[in-house]
Amino acid sequence: MQDKAKIGLVASEVAGLWDSYVNDSLVICTLSYFIDKTEDEEVLQILQHALDVSNGHIQVITDIFNQEGLPIPKGFTKDDVNINAPRLYDDPFYLFYLTNVSQVAMGAYTLILNHVARSDVRNFFSDCISESVELYNKVSDVLLSQGIFIRAPKVEFSKNVSFVEEQNFFSGGLLGQKRNLVAREMTSIFASLRLNIIGGALITGFAQVAESTKVSEYLFRGSDLANKKVKTLIPLLLDENIPIPSTSNSFVTDSIVSPFSDKLMVYHVTLLNGGAIAQDGMALSTVLRFDLQLHYTRSMLDTAKYSEDGLDIMLKNRWLEQPPQAIDHKKL
């Protein structure tokens, strides 16, 4: 009987493993630089833990691809990072960065697992999900202990059970009086704010040190886009006297020496764009007010257009590694 674990990989499994390899190679470069710069021992331990996890992923995927006779992606290497570059971000930023990484990873690995059949690959991505949860919890504990965890709003809610009776519950001020936000809408707004605050800081640092003028201009556009989203969302909370998530730290130093290649930074931003579109899509599926639905629809379109421009830069510079593609039998 054929060993089920040796059944050939299907397209969804190859795609998930390939994407994970490339993304982990990027994370390894990024964390290697962060580890060299951090001064906080708690932060250092978590960064090292995350780096070890990504290195483990690379080894597992390499073994599977070798067994299947598939080429190993180039991804990102030591040529894409300069750990001797001066500090670009402060220690608290590293924690917030890992928070975003773990949150995105939890969702991404779950989506991949939904389309995986082979048991060894299922086990791998199941472990990836568990590791992402563990990382999120470790980072959250340190953020809480240091008093810098960015919390969701705490507000008072009605103690009575009620039912929606009028259509204007959905209007959001477009067709009538705007009702107060419900808890799921506050959650979506908070998640978007946190993502854009931390993502905006990352991109600002990238833009500050990029070697290419075109890349720098592109990255500063991303920073401006993140700030625009933050400025649009904050009034939605302030209008109802709801506390807004904030941090007193700008995170970015004044260094102008790049620790990363322009290729890595642009690709990293495309990953951020994908996470932002996914976040907006999730929010769109849960919010009930029409004005919020309109905001998230526009936000996704803005991010998609910005992401397209980034892909153009990667194409022109031959930075975009081609994912696995089906054979065109007519051209053989």
pLDDT digit string, tens, across residues 259-306: 999 999 999 999 999 999 999 999 999 998 888 999 999 999 999 999
Residue whose C-alpha is closest to residue 170's, from 35, 289, 49, 298 = 289
CA distance 194 to 198: 6
Measured CA to CA, the distance from residue 257 to residue 3 in angstroms comes to 52
Grouping H, G, I as helix, E, B as strand and the rest as coil, residue 248 is: coil
Q: Name the segment(s) of the chain with CATH classification 1.20.1260.10.
A: 9-145, 175-316
Around Cβ 224, how many Cβ atoms within 10 Å?
Answer: 15
Taking the model in full, what pTM does it have?
0.91
Whole-angstrom CA distances from 234 to 26, 56, 161 are 32, 40, 29
CB 179 within 8 A of CB 168: yes
Architecture of domain 175-316: Up-down Bundle (1.20)
Cβ distance 209 to 258 under 8 Å?
yes
Q: What angle do CA 229, 279, 225 make, to 5 degrees?
A: 25
Alpha carbon of 276 to those of 9, 23, 273, 301: distances in Å? Answer: 30, 16, 5, 11
Least confident of 81-85, 93-97, 105-109, 162-166: 162-166
DSSP 8-state class, residue 171: T
pLDDT band at 4 (very low <50, low <70, confident <90, very high): low
Residue 184: what residue type?
A: R
Pick the CATH number of 9-145 from 2.60.40.1180, 1.10.3720.10, 1.20.1260.10, 3.40.640.10: 1.20.1260.10
pLDDT at 248 over 60: no
| Range in 51-55, 91-95, 173-177 the model is least confident about | 173-177
